[in-house]
């Protein structure tokens, strides 16, 4: 099977957007996101075939007008296992995707209601992945701060926060949007973990100024050469994000424990 997914399948794509950010011309266009399901070839053979396809495609027209293409490939066994477990990526892909080619040799599985043991397993995996990434970004932030690269330190702190918010959302819902705005992630996560208000208090001018640095650093650290952050602000933010990590860990581990209790009750009812 060959399946188009993402923004072009949903009809929400951006054909071309050009603008100036902080005096620097930038442009954006959505990718063609394509999943290849193939059981007949080895991983290396598929990679070689896709490299050949990319080479042919990339010669077709001027790159400024060509839509970028991103391929992923999986076996039907892997895709169907994830569909049966309601993994959010594949369930959304099946719901929104457009089949471009189907040999008829394989069939996509139906999503089934998850048992709490399965929910617990997914929650644990998502939490471990996102929490581990947040710690790596914090390490990078400390490294950049030691180098007196405070703007890049703020960018890494933003990435750490984004992963902590996603750890909460994925653990509590098994779903996550492609959202990078910390304001939106904060609002969504606070509904599940009200204690976050202790990390980022609302209505306090100084606290809101610090949070705004995090929000802005995702874009401005990369595109605005005049964006400035000082060491004192970075050190204050590191204290806050350490607390953020503690709250996230406690809340997610408690949620996973609750899934475990529900799983035990589910087994007893059998």
The DSSP call for residue 40 is: S
> According to the model, what pLDDT value does residue 24 have?
56
Cβ(87)–Cβ(118) under 8 Å? Answer: no
Say how far apart CA 162 and CA 215 lie, in whole Å.
10
pLDDT at 176: 74
Sequential pLDDT tens for the chain (270 residues): 999 988 899 888 888 777 665 555 666 678 898 999 988 888 889 889 998 998 888 887 666 667 888 888 989 998 998 888 877 778 778 888 999 999 998 889 887 778 899 899 999 999 999 999 999 999 999 999 999 999 999 999 999 999 999 999 999 988 876 778 898 899 889 889 999 998 988 778 899 999 999 999 998 998 888 899 999 999 999 999 999 999 999 999 999 999 999 998 887 776
What was the pLDDT predicted at 63? 64
Q: Nearest 5 degrees, angle CA 146-CA 148-CA 154?
A: 90
User: What pLDDT shows up at residue 27?
Assistant: 63
Distance CA 212, CA 172 (A): 26
Spatial separation of the C-alpha atoms in residues 159 and 232, rounded to whole Å: 19
The pLDDT of residue 214:
94
CB 252 within 8 A of CB 171: yes
Q: Would you call 199 exposed, middle or buried from its count of C-beta atoms within 10 A (0-12, 13-18, 19+)?
A: buried
Domains and CATH numbers, the chain: 2-101 (no CATH), 116-269 (1.20.120.330)
CA separation (Å) from 163 to 171, 248, 250? 12, 10, 15
- Dist. CA 194–CA 168, nearest whole Å: 11
pLDDT at 122: 92
The three-state (H, E, C) secondary structure of 106-155, written as one string: CCCCCCCCCCHHHHHHHHHHHHHHHHHHHHHHHHHHHHHHHCCCHHHHHH
pLDDT of residue 126: 94
């Amino acid at each position: 099977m060959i399946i188009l997914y993402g923004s072009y399948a949903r009809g929400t794509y951006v054909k071309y957007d050009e603008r100036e950010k902080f005096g620097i011309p930038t442009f954006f266009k959505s990718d063609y996101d394509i999943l290849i399901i193939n059981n007949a070839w080895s991983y290396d053979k598929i990679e070689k075939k896709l490299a050949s396809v990319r080479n042919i495609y990339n010669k077709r027209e001027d790159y400024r007008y060509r839509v970028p293409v991103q391929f992923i490939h999986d076996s039907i066994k892997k895709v169907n296992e994830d569909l049966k477990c309601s993994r959010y990526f594949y369930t959304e892909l099946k719901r929104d995707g457009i089949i471009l080619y189907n040999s008829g040799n394989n069939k996509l599985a139906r999503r089934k209601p998850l048992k709490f043991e399965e929910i617990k397993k997914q929650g644990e995996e998502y939490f471990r992945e996102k929490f581990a990434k947040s710690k790596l970004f914090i390490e990078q932030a400390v490294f950049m701060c030691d180098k007196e690269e405070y703007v890049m330190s703020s960018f890494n702190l933003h990435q750490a926060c984004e992963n902590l918010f996603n750890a909460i959302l994925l653990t509590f819902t098994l779903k996550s949007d492609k959202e990078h705005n910390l304001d939106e992630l904060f609002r969504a996560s606070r509904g599940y973990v009200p204690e976050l208000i202790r990390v980022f208090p609302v209505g306090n001018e100084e606290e809101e100024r610090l949070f705004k640095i995090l929000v802005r650093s995702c874009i401005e650290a990369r595109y605005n050469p005049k964006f400035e952050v000082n060491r004192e602000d970075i050190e204050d933010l590191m204290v806050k994000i350490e607390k953020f990590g503690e709250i996230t860990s406690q809340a997610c581990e408690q949620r996973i424990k609750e899934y475990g209790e529900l799983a035990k009750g589910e087994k007893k009812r059998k």
